[in-house]
Structure 1
Amino acid sequence: MIDALRDVDLKLIRAFTTVAECGGFMPAQAVLNVGPSRLSTMIAELEQRLGLRLCRRGRVGFALTESGQEVYRAAQRLNADLEAFRSSVGSLRGKLIGNLAIGLVDNIVSNPAQRIAEVIDRFSRRAQDVRITIHMDSPQELERKVLDGRLDIGIGAFHHALPGLAYHALFLEEQTLYCGRGHPLFERAATDIQQVDILAASYAGKGYLEDRRPLNLSAQAVSFSMEGLAMLVLSGRFIAYLPSHYAASWVGKGQMRALMADTTSYQSLFECVTRQGHSRTPILQALLEDLHSGHAKRLLQPDTGRSATSRKPRRPTRLAET
């Protein structure tokens, strides 16, 4: 049993958390840059030090034991505390030091309302020695990873306020209904398309929780990414909601068209999410300040006559608040 942590123990714990997060030994090898035999030895040594069986391997695949799950959660807390210590000590010297894990939903880079690249530039101009990693995931996964400490912050369109998380409004994204060339509605005049035609079309939806849309559409196909939805639309078989900035290139090429945009489009509220009840590291506080500065005027509603969000919005929270 570990009575006092040593440097070697921290290395073993980090190896174990990587294996747990990668879902097995093989994918973790590339992340840790170690061979299979070395990684197996490290996990076996940690199990011996703890006196616990942490994981099972075999024909049925990789899985953490109950003890392994508890140790993993404890390791996450330990890694977060070590990172907070490192960051706090660096701030005493007037310098940001540590790691920053940012989670984003896919395909927001072309949204003219977001200023994330400018925020990263502003943050990088501070006196700092910060290793930034960016992860792409669904909104629900971003929330889960922020909650368990794998991400410092997530940015996306979130549809429920989960306990333990703080949500801060950033910018809006227009969602528009599209069909692709070859679809029965593609060549029809806009004045000839009615709501009944939309409801009768095969709809492709997101594989995760969606906004409350203006129309109650039942999905005949799903995708967990915008790229997958775009592929379904381009097939000419399905209609789907896509961010208007994302679909613009295909619209310009004559491969997609919007459907009843004046009545079926809506605005999604994009927010950043952080853990509640945890002291913010100087690194996270600095990033939140830069996000607030970069998006202070981004919530102005476009002149479309449509509501800013598709659901009852939470009261926007200033990023500087604790």
Structure 2
Amino acid sequence: MENQLKTEISNITTLVEFVLLGFSDIPNLHWVLFGIFLVIYITILMCNSIIILITRIDSALQTPMYFFLSNFSFLEICYVTVTIPRMLIDLLTQKGNISFLDCAAQMCFVLMFGGSECLLLTVMAYDRYVAICNPLHYPLIMNPRKCVQLVTISWVSDIPFVIGQTCQIFSLPFCGSNIINHFFCDIPPILKLTCGDTFVNEIEVYVVAVIIIMIPFLLIVVSYGKIISSILKLSSAKGRAKAFSTCSSHLIVVVLFYGTATITYLRPKPNQSEGVGKLISLFYTVLIPTLNPIIYTLRNKDIMAALGKLLMKLLI
């Protein structure tokens, strides 16, 4: 018993790195996965950069809605850059070693950018609410100063919660294995490596998740409840269709992002396999950021028109 205790203490004090297993369970597909994720990453960077560019240079897109969209696109670039490049390196080298501090930093930035997305999606819902439910006062309410303030709040207000959550988790004692069966440092797989009962820590994770995920989601639901109510009161079918079209892209993104984030951070202690957990995480860290610019561009006539004008200028 004494020797076992000494071994655990030794493991706790000498732990300087983790090993991310990633996709090592399918070694024959390493190069295929590397190619797929590289193409996905480049696509995300290019598509979101194009959205940022055209919303800045096209005068028709100098509105609060597109100001928020350009910030959302930049946030998406930051979000995927925390995970995908690291994943590509691990696939290329077939090594998943990551230092203790790097793992903590990765978790912190994933949570921070993910939380900022939740808040920015809420701001975008509020923007649509004001535009549809209070159109006469829209320019006054959503003035440039107010827009900058809302974006700033979205970027920084979750930072204290995220830093506190990360410090709290990585101050726990780790013993036994240092192998993380995941492709990035996320809360559920990290908690599995800690010693002792993690019930209190899981409750704290739920509390922070409720603050960062569920409260913004409820605000979005309330906003869209009022938006739909106002749209249904419009006498013109064309007006209703136009109003719905301006909200549909944002609503699709909200459902996709919040659906997977809720499953990951608000579910009870999972009985599902770790493979399923990785698949869900892959969905909201890689697939959804890939779909978001496509959803916003293909379903938005103004952006498609601005993109067409930009291409014409480049070709002439």
TM over 0.5: no
Higher relative strand content: 1
Higher relative contact order (CA 8 A, sep 6+): 2
Q: Give the TM-score normalised by the residue count of structure 2.
A: 0.24
